[in-house]
Structure 1
Amino acid sequence: MLNEMTRSWECNGKVWTSQSSKNRMNISGFYEGSIIFGNRFKDTNISTINKLDNLTKNDLEPAREFVYKNLGQILKNDEEFYKELFLVKKNSAKNIGLTREAFCIKKAGNQFISQPRMSTGENLLLSILQSLEYVRKRRKKNNEYPCIVFLDEIELALHSSALRRLVVFLKHIAEELELSIFFSTHSIDLLREIKAQNIFYLSSFWDNDIMVTNPCYPAYATRNLYGDDGYGNDMVILVEDDLAKLIIEKLLLEKQLVNNIRIKILPTGGWTNTITMAYDVTTSNLLQKGTKLAVVLDKDIKDEVPDFFSRHKQYSGIKVDFLPIASLEKYLYSKLVRDKDKKLFILLDTYLFQKRPLLDILNQYQKEVKAKDNDGKSLYGVLINEVKSMRKDRENLVEIIVKYIIENEKQSVEELSNYVINKVKA
C-alpha cells in the first residue's frame, strides 16, 4: 500500500492472481535478473550478435563517463580501465534492429568485442549501470515518486571484491537518488557490506507460511561458521550483535583468556536468534570436528532465558553465559544518566571526549533526546557521533569501557572468563 493505493498478489496453490486499486500506484525503477531475466537479454540472438560483430569505429561513439568509470571502478578498482568502451550510435543501432543501447570494447588492432560477447560480469554491470543512469536522469528532473530497484543473485557473475565495490557504489547511488535497492542473494561477501537492519531473512515453513527475520546478521542468514581462508576455527562464539563482538574481543585480549587458538566471534542478531543458531549448529553438525561452540548473551535477558528454555525444550541442552553488562547502550545509560558513575564519567571525559566536554554532551542529550530514550540507544548514538567528529570510532569507546568493566565488574568478568576457558578445555 502506498498513499491508499494498493497492489497485491495471491496464489491459490497453482495460479498467481493480482489485484490493484483503481488509482494507479506511481512507482518507478527496474528489475535485473542474473540468468534469465534482465535488460541485457533483450537483443541476445545470433542474428543480432553477428551484426554487432561487423560494426566498425564509424558505428560507435565513446561511452558516457558514468558507465565506463563506474564499470572500471567496480570490476577492476580502476576508473580508467574501460576508457575504450564505446556505445553503438543510434542510427547504427536502428539499422541492426536493437531495442536498447549496446556497448563494444576496443581491443588491440582496432578490434571490437560486442556486449553479448563480453563476460557475464561485464554484461550484467553494463545493464545495471545503463538502467541506473536512466533512473538518475529521471530522478534529477522529477523526484516525486518512490523508486525501487531489484537485483537478483548478482553474485553469480561477480568476484567477491567486485561485489563489495558494487555494494559501496549502490549505497552511494541510493543515497544520492533516494532509491530503495533490494538484493536477493546467498553471498556472505555481499551481506558483510550491508547493515543488519537492512537484511531481511526469509524462511519458508512446512505449511508455506513465510517468516521474515529483521534485523538479521550475515552469519545467521548464511550459517557462515568457517574461517575466510577455509581452514576453520578452534572455537566459535555466538553473540547477539557487533557491539557484543567488540566487547568479547577486548575481554579476550585484556584478560589473555586464550592463547594459540583460532577464535571466530559471530553476531547473530537477537538473543533468541543466537540460541536458535546454536541449536542448528549442534544438531546439524555444522562445525568442523574439534571446533568448540560458546554462546554469550547480553546480561539484560538473563532472567528470561530459563523461561524460554522451559517453553522450548529442544534448546534446553544449549549452555549459555552472559556479558558482564546488560549491553553497551544500557550500561552507558545506567552509568552516565540514571546512576551517574563519577569515576566512569571522569575517565571518559579525560581520555576520550577531549574536543567537547562530556557534561555539555549530556546536558544537550537531557534537553533534546532523553524523553524519547528508554533503552540507551539514543544516548549511545549521541556519544558515537561525538566520537566520530573527533576522527575516532566506537572501538575507542569500547576499549575504555572494557577496561573499566574488568576493574569494576570483577565477579561477572570472572564468571565469563571461566566459561570461555572451560569451553576451550572441554
Structure 2
Amino acid sequence: MNEQVLEMKIQNVKGIKQLDFGFPLQSGIYAITGENGSGKSTLISCASSVFYQMPMIEFFGRPEDAAINFELNGATRSWVCDGKTWSSSSKGSMRINGFYEGSIVFGNRFKDTNISVINKLDKLKENDLLPAREFIYKNLGQILKNDEDFYKELFLVKKESAKKMGLTRKTFCLKKGKNQFISQPRMSTGENLLLSILQSLEYIFKKRTHHNDGRPCIVFLDEIELALHSSALRRLVIFLKEIAEKLGLAIFFSTHSIDLLREIKAQNIYYISSFLDDSIMVTNPCYPAYATRNLYGDDGYGNDMVILVEDDLAKLIIERLLLEKQLANNIRIKVLPTGGWTNTITMAYDVTTSNLLQKGTKLAIVLDRDIKERVPEFISTHKQYSGIKMDFLPIASLEKYLHFKLIDNKDKKLFNILDTYLFQKRPLYEILKQYTKEVEVNDNDGKTLYGFLINEVKSMRKDREDLVDIVVKYIIENEEECVDELSKYIVNKANM
C-alpha cells in the first residue's frame, strides 16, 4: 500500500485545460498550494469525485469535452461531460475510501440547512438528544478553544427525532442553559467545519478498528483556514498529523495558509502555477519558503496595506468602499477575512508579533459595527491586545442591515432599488412575504433573510456580488457619517 498512487487526469474543467496529478496514498498530511485562480479548489473537488457522489453540474457546470479520469492498481473510473450532462463509467474495482470537506460554498457541513429543518431544530428538547461522544466534543474543544471540556454540553439528535425532521446526517446541538440549545446550523462556520471533519474521522476510526479491509483512505480538505484562526489551525494540523499516522490516512489540504505550510515537509507540498494559455505546472517538492514567497510576496502580506475583516461579506463591502471612494489609488491593498471579530483581533496580534508583514506594509482592522460596544470589555480582559487599533464598518453587518431595512424598519427607497434593478424574476414583496411566513423564530442576525435573498438571486443566474454591489452603493450614499469615518481611518493607516 505504501507505493500506491491515485492517478488523475483532468480535461477542460473550469480553468484547467489539462492536468495530470498523482496523489500518493502513504499516510501523512499534504498541501496543494498556489496563487488565487491557479486551480487548487478545482483540483481538490475533481479528485473527491473518485469516491464522493457530488452533484457534478453544481460543482463544475456543463463544459463541453470535459473529463475526469482516475486509475489505481489497474482499475479505472471516469466522469465525462458532453456539454449537457455528466456520465460516469468504471472498469475493475476502485478500492479506495475517503471523504471530502469543501470550501465555504460546498461541503458536508451545509447539509440540512433549509428553513423548515432549522425551525424544527430550534424547538428541540433535551429528551430528543443524546450526549455527544468524547471523541467529538473533546477534540472539538481542544482544537477550537485549547480546552477539551469546552464543549462538554454538546449533544447529538437522537435517530428517531432526526428521522421525523427529515435530517440526512447526524446533527448536534450545544446546550447553553436549561432547555436552551444552539442547533448545528446556527453554530459558527469553524464549529460546523470541525464537527463535519470529526464525524467523518470517527467513522473511519471505527471502520479501521473493527473491520480494516486494507483499502487506502484519502481525505480532501479545501481552504479550511477560511473558517479557523491561526491558533486553531495549528492545533488542527497537530491533531490531523497524529490521526493520519494512527489510521493510515493521506490528508490533502488546498491552502494559502503560512501556518499550515510550515507544518508540512517539502516533499509533501505541491505548488500549482497556471499560465495564460490555461496550462498548469505542478512543482514538487516545494519548500515552504518558496511557496510563501510566491503567495505572500505578490498577493497577500506583500501589499502596501493589509485590512483584516471578519468574513467574506465584510471583505466585499470594504473592496466596494475602496473603489467607490477611490481610496486605493496608487496603493496595493489586500482585504483578508479571518472569521469572527475575536479571531480578527487575535489574527492582528499574531501577524504583528510574529513579524509576518513585509517591511513597510501597514495593517488595518475593520470589524462589524454591531460589536463596537463589546470590544472594550474584550480588550480589558486580554491585555496583550491593548495596543491594537481598529475601526468599524458603517453598518452592523450586511445581513443585519438588510433585515433592519427590509423587515424591522422598511426603507422604501432601498426596497424600490432592489425590486427594480435586481429582483426582476419574482417581486421582492413576494420573497419577503414567504420569508415572514416560513421563519418561525427570531432571525436577529439576518442570516436567514440573507439566505432567502441569495437563493432568489441565484435562481436568476446571478450571484451575491450583484446584491452586495447595490446595497453597498446605497450605504455609501446614505450612511455618509460612518462611511467618512471609516474612509479617514483607512487613509490615516496608509499614511502612517
Specify the alignment match of 1:390 in structure 2: 460
Residue 104 of structure 1: aligned partner: none
1:39-54 aligned at under 5 Å gives the runs 39-41=1-3
Distance in 2, Cα, partners of 1:230 & 1:376: 31
Distance 1:299 1:173, change over 3 A: farther
Task: Give the structure 1 partner of residue 128 of structure 2.
Answer: none
Query: Counterpart in 2 of 1:325?
Result: 395
Answer with 337-346 or 314-323: which moved more: 337-346
Take 2:473 and 2:459, find their aligned partners in 1: how far apart are those partners?
23
1:340 is aligned, of 384, 387, 410, to: 410
Q: Are 2:312 and 1:242 aligned?
A: yes
- TM-score, normalised to structure 2, is 0.51
Report the Cα offset of residue 263 of structure 1: 0.5
| Structure 2 match to 1:181 | 100
2:487 counterpart residue number = 417
| 1:174 positional shift | 6.4
Give the root-mean-square deviation of aligned CA atoms: 3.9
Between stretches 368-377 and 285-294, larger displacement belongs to: 368-377
1:167 match: secondary structure: helix
Provide TM-score, normalisation by structure 1. Answer: 0.58
Q: Which has the larger radius of gyration?
A: 1
Q: Work out the CA distance in 2 between the residues paired with 1:177 and 1:199.
A: 28
List aligned pairs for 1:102-181, cutoff 5 A: 121-122=21-22, 124=23, 152-155=29-32, 161=38, 163-170=40-47, 172=49, 176=53, 180-181=99-100
Range with bigger deviation, 298-307 or 222-231: 222-231
Alignment of structure 1 residues 188-227 onto 2, 5 Å: 196-197=226-227, 201-204=232-235, 226-227=296-297
From the superposition, tell whether residues 424 and 42 of structure 1 become closer, same or farther in structure 2 (CA, over 3 Å).
closer
Residues 1:265 and 2:362 are matched in the alignment: no
CA contact (8 A) 2:399 2:450 kept: yes
Change (3 A) 1:412 1:259: same
**Structure 1: where are the runs of 5+ without partners?**
1-38, 44-66, 83-120, 129-149, 185-189, 211-216
Partner of 1:61: none
1:400-415 mapped onto 2 (5 Å cutoff) = 400-415=470-485
Distance 1:255 1:375, change over 3 A: same
Q: C-alpha displacement at 1:166, in angstroms?
A: 2.3
Measured in 1, the distance between the counterparts of 2:229 and 2:2 equals 27
Tell me what 2:434 maps to: 364
The gaps in structure 2 that reach 5 residues or longer are: 56-97, 103-196, 198-219, 242-254, 262-291
User: What are the residue-to-residue correspondences of 1:286-297 with 2, within 5 Å?
Assistant: 286-297=356-367
The CA deviation string for residues 26-74 of structure 1, in whole angstroms up to 9 with x for no partner, is xxxxxxxxxxxxx35269xxxxxxxxxxxxxxxxxxxxxxx87x42449
Report if the CA contact (8 A) 2:228-2:338 is conserved.
no
Relative contact order, CA 8 A, sep 6+: which one is greater? 2
**How many angstroms apart in 1 are the aligned matches of 2:480 and 2:227?**
33
Provide the secondary structure at the position in 2 that maps to 1:176.
coil
Q: CA separation of 1:227/1:298 partners in 2, compared to 1, >3 Å: closer, same or farther?
A: farther
Asked if the contact 2:233–2:260 (Cα under 8 Å) also holds between the matched residues in 1, the reply is no
Quick one: which amino acid aligns to residue 384 of structure 1? I
What does residue 47 of structure 1 align with? none
Indicate if the aligned counterparts of 1:74 and 1:165 stay in contact, CA closer than 8 A.
no
**Amino acid across the alignment from 1:153:** Y
More strand per residue: 2
**Structure 2 CA distance for partners of 1:191 and 1:256, relative to 1, 3 Å:** farther
State the one-letter code of the partner of 2:100: I
8 Å CA contact retained: 2:369, 2:395? yes
**How big is the shift at 1:291?**
0.6
Give me the whole-angstrom Cα distance separating, in 2, the residues matched to 1:394 and 1:181. Answer: 25
Measure, in 2, the Cα distance between the counterparts of 1:231 and 1:167: 25
Q: Distance in 2 between matches of 1:152 and 1:219?
A: 14
Corresponding residue for residue 302 of structure 1: 372
Q: 1:179-198 CA deviation, whole Å, 9 max, x = no partner? A: 733699xxxxx977568459
Query: In structure 2, how many angstroms separate the alpha carbons of the residues matched to 1:261 and 1:229?
Result: 13
- Given that 1:257 and 1:417 are in contact with CA atoms closer than 8 Å, whether structure 2 keeps it comes out as yes
Alpha-carbon distance in 2 for matches of 1:406, 1:78: 41
The structure in which a higher percent of residues are helix is 1
